[in-house]
Amino acid sequence: MDGEGKRGKAVIVGGSIAGISCAHALTLAGWDVLVLEKTPSSPTGSPTGAGLGLNSFSQQIIQSWLPHSKQQQLLHNTTIPLTIDQNHVTDSEKKVHCALTRDESFNFRAAHWADLHGLLYTALPSDIFLWGHLFLSFHVVDGKGSVIVKAEVLETGKVVEIVGDLLVAADGCLSSIRQKYLPDFKLRYSGYCAWRGVLDFSKIENSETITGIRKAYPDLGKCLYFDMASGTHTVLYELQNKRLNWVWFVNQPEPEVKGTSVTMKVNSDMIQKMQQEAEKVLIPEFVKVIKETREPFLNFIYDSDPLEKIFWDNVVLVGDAAHPTTPHCVRSTNMSILDAAVLGKCLEKWGAQKLESALEEYQFIRLPVTSKQVLHARRLGRLKQGLVLPDRDPFDPKLIRPEDHQELLVRNTPFFNDVPSSLGLIPSGCL
């Protein structure tokens, strides 16, 4: 709220983690918010999505958003610690692997997407969410005093107009809002896709599959495992409530992306072929986990060269709309949460009457950081997938060099422990 007492109104397009984080941060900054989301209702309690990692500062930010100690405890109860970042090398011919690097001061926590989303959603007033509202278009009113957003109510087909002071684009890597300002923008295909899945082992805890994977990866429950073979790598870690989150990255030509998602629903033939290919390169214990996972899905992995701007007039980009990134530095969700927190503090500092100054400061703080992190994640992904890099030979797990070891660690991501000075107002008890 500014010196004249005017409350700003923000319209947030997108109700995933980035959008819901902005709803928290902007509400605490004294703004009124509305969140437009095309899905018909909150996904709370659903098996939607997969695993993600929260760094220590994201955990602290989330704690500052939760109003009661009981809710703060829920963050701890819905996540499990990831205190170790470990890289393995797999011999695909002998079907064995060995440890390569180990960082025992990792200080992340693992969450399921739906669990984190549900926690953040239930801590907000339900009336700020407009579910089943498909964003159509927007225009900034002359003089930059307000922005008018059009959305379709999917249940009725009615088109509604919503007026706000600020439009927050939290509409993902394929952002249609970004496209209006950058019509020639195109995502950059990484050269590989990712098979992903979550295995619920609550009813097979003593099975050969689970005892085998725990023997092969003995620190499951506290470790983020990366396993590299020739031209590929995997990710494995445990989630709360007896679930295993796995990812398998596969080099392949760019697929045809249809619609507004980079996730593909797959059929049984595709799954069977994927499982057969996994048997050729992965250790048997990992293959069994893949085979027992219901409804695995396929992500196309994209990023983009860093943008030169992330706001125009009273429109601002956050999350994947601002910085599409590959997942190898475990940054995407953490970037979105930090975007929201910084944006909220800038808006609180400058007030609705000095919106341009607030957005300039947000861009000044976040753009240099996210740009370097996106490029580092791109490099790390290409390294682990054995793809060409301009300054070195392709990575060969069989010829691992000592100088390669440190390059594989997540903590070498630029600004890994960076805390923006603008966030100094977070309650000290949360830090």
Average pLDDT of adjacent 10-residue blocks, the chain of 431 residues: 70 97 97 95 70 94 85 86 93 85 94 94 94 96 87 96 97 95 95 96 96 97 94 96 96 79 84 96 96 94 96 96 96 96 96 95 97 96 92 78 80 89 51 31
Are residues 158 and 60 part of one domain? Answer: yes
Is 393 domain-assigned?
Answer: yes
Residue 402 pLDDT? 72
Are residues 148 and 165 part of one domain? Answer: yes
Count of domains in the chain? 2
Residue 260 pLDDT? 61
CATH number of the domain within which 20 lies: 3.50.50.60
- Sheet of strand 311-312, all strands in order from the earlier edge strand to the far edge: 129-131, 32-37, 9-13, 166-169, 315-317, 311-312
Are residues 170 and 132 part of one domain? Answer: yes
Are residues 403 and 330 part of one domain? Answer: yes
d(CA 329, CA 338): 15
Residues 6+ apart with CB under 8 A from 159: 136, 150, 151, 152, 153
CATH number of the domain within which 100 lies: 3.30.9.60
Q: Which residue has the tokens 């085979």?
A: 291
Are residues 120 and 19 part of one domain? Answer: yes
Are residues 247 and 101 part of one domain? Answer: yes
Are residues 366 and 314 part of one domain? Answer: yes
Residue 426 pLDDT? 44
Mapped onto helix, strand or coil, the DSSP state of residue 212 is: helix
Are residues 254 and 139 part of one domain? Answer: no
Q: Which residue has the tokens 């470990």?
A: 86
- Domain limits for position 361: 9-79+114-186+305-430
Count how many residues are written for the chain: 431
Are residues 325 and 284 part of one domain? Answer: no
d(CA 222, CA 35): 35
Residue 428 pLDDT? 34
Are residues 46 and 122 part of one domain? Answer: yes
